[in-house]
Amino acid sequence: MKKYINTAFIYAAAAMAGGVFYREFTKWNGYLGVTMLGKVHTHLFLLGMFLFLIVALFAGRMQLEEDKLFHRFFYIYNGGVILTAVMMLVHGTLQVLHVELSKGAEASVSGIAGIGHILTGTGLVMLLLSLRKHAEDLRNDREEQ
């Protein structure tokens, strides 16, 4: 359980740093428009901190650590969220700096961000399947008693 609370703490710190970077970077560059940087803060709080606080609650009640699927979720999901956040930072920074990318470079940024989203979604499915399995195990244990 401590591992997931620590993970939530890291995401909270990253979310706050992302929010400060967004505010200061756009102010420093005199950028007044909407940018992808403004969404990094929220993504890291919701997909990172809040999800892992919820996972910590489940981990305290269920034997999730013993499940291979749950173990894979942890790494795949974190990889996806981190990759997505990094690509949001890249995209937002390029927006603020008014950097025009070639079609190939733009497709690369979008493609890598898409891979991050796919990994995040795959991780979520793995978490839900693992939770469903353990919920059934809890129910079966209660019925046996």
Give pLDDT tens digits for 15-29: 999 999 999 999 999
Could you give the number of structural domains in the chain?
1
Query: Is the model's pLDDT at 13 over the cut of 90?
Result: yes
Please report the pLDDT score of residue 136 as a whole number.
79
| Tens of pLDDT, residues 89-102 | 999 999 999 999 99
Residues 6+ apart with CB under 8 A from 124: 77
Q: What is the pTM of this model?
A: 0.90
- Between CA 31 and CA 47 the distance in angstroms is 27
Q: What gap in Å lies between CA 58 and CA 38, rounded to an integer? A: 31
Task: Look up the domain containing 110 and give its range.
Answer: 2-144
Pull the structure tokens for residue 26. 């756009």
